[in-house]
């Protein structure tokens, strides 16, 4: 006898392979035109679903969760970060929240290293010059960037992505420094030859490159505040592939505009998808459209994680990637 298929509402278009498998396993309602749902549409979806498969573009706050029907039992997030979901409100309603950790680590680390290289060596600026037909020949003093070999990289958040970035950065001759809530294990620290800084302020003041790789939580909002940004050396580069809210974007844009910081590479923004207009006008900033996890393989792996979490819940077990408020 076939099992009853739970009602799953998917809020955005996912890779075809993922959507097809979800249709096979669940009573799945897809978002075929990929239009982000409004708060009212999200509330309506939650009132008729048993599982909401959402993404980071969905603001699932307390007011939306209040609209959930009695049948909604699981919010299966397609992504690692859950700062767009009021996990505490969901938990209070008895709704499980899951995410998709681990599958995006290498992709995000790859792009972070790419942003470091692009910022240090002015890659995008140079490409734009060639495409605009303004390349008139080599010159010994033109388009000079900065060598990475022998420089210090400060990683803010030494989780999976931070550690994977550190491995790549070591191959480019960067000395690894990091700030974290607590030091990594001795074996990892030895393998990465990583120096731990309990004081973020002290680390920032000594680094040539700083990469933000921590999650966005209430505790990390504007972790790199205007005051902390001023601790960076004028020749330093700042890269962010985590969440835009971790950096005071207005303060960063002002420093870059005034030449108080050498450059930045940003894949995320504080008021995404809006980008500070000052940043758009600066030649020493590499700006990407939140694409650090954007690989075909990564997106399919994320979808498979969502499916595993839903199927585990269907079988009456605790999903492997369950998020509880105390974890945040």
* Token representation of residue 172: 């480019």
Report whether the peptide linkage leading into residue 273 is cis, meaning its omega lies within 30 degrees of zero.
yes
User: Which residue in this structure is represented by tokens 């603001």?
Assistant: 59
* Token representation of residue 80: 């690692």
Q: Are strands 175-179 and 96-98 parallel, antiparallel or unpaired?
A: unpaired
> SS3 letters for the chain?
CCCCCCEEEECCCCCHHHHHHHHHHCEEECCCCCCCCCHHHHHHHHHHCCEEEECCCCCECHHHHCCCCCCCCEEEECCCCCCCECHHHHHHCCCEEECCCCCCHHHHHHHHHHHHHHHHHCHHHHHHHHHCCCCCCCCCCCCCCCCCCCCEEEEECCCHHHHHHHHHHHHCCCEEEEECCCCCCHHHHHHHCCEECCCHHHHHCCCCEEEECCCCCHHHCCCECHHHHCCCCCCCEEEECCCHHHECHHHHHHHHHCCCCCEEEECCCCCCCCCCHHHHCCCCEEECCCCCCCCHHHHHHHHHHHHHHHHHHHCCCCCCCEECHHHC
Whole-number Å distance between alpha carbons of 291 and 297 = 13
Catalytic site residues? 243, 272, 290
Rounded to the nearest 5 degrees, what angle is found at the Cα of 115, between the Cα atoms of 109 and 118?
Answer: 140
């Amino acid at each position: 006898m076939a099992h009853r298929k739970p009602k799953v509402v998917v809020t955005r278009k996912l890779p075809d392979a993922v959507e097809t498998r979800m249709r096979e396993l669940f009573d799945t309602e897809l978002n075929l035109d990929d239009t982000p749902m409004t708060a009212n549409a999200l509330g309506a979806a939650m009132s008729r679903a048993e599982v909401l498969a959402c993404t980071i573009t969905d603001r699932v706050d307390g007011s939306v969760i209040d609209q959930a029907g009695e049948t909604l039992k699981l919010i299966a997030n397609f992504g690692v970060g859950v700062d767009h979901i009021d996990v505490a409100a969901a938990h209070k309603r008895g709704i499980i929240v899951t995410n998709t950790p681990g599958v995006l680590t290498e992709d995000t680390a790859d792009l972070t290293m790419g942003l470091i290289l692009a910022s240090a060596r002015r890659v995008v600026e140079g490409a734009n010059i060639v495409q605009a037909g303004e390349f008139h020949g080599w010159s010994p003093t033109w388009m000079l960037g900065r060598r990475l070999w022998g420089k210090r990289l400060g990683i803010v958040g030494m989780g999976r992505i931070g550690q994977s970035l550190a491995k790549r950065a070591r191959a480019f001759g960067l000395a690894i420094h990091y700030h974290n809530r607590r030091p990594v294990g001795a074996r990892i620290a030895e393998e990465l030859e990583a120096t731990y800084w309990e004081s973020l302020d002290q680390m920032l003041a000594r680094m040539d490159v700083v990469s933000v790789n921590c999650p966005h939580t209430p505790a990390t909002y504007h972790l790199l505040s205007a005051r902390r940004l001023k601790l960076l050396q004028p020749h330093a580069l700042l890269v962010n592939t985590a969440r835009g809210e971790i950096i005071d974007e207005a303060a960063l844009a002002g420093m870059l505009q005034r030449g108080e910081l050498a450059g930045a590479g940003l894949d995320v923004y504080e008021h995404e998808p809006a980008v500070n207009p000052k940043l758009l006008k600066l030649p020493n900033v590499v700006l990407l459209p939140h694409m650090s996890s954007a690989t075909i393989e990564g997106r399919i792996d994320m979808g498979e994680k969502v499916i595993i979490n839903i199927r585990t819940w269907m079988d009456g077990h605790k999903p492997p990637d369950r998020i509880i408020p105390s974890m945040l």
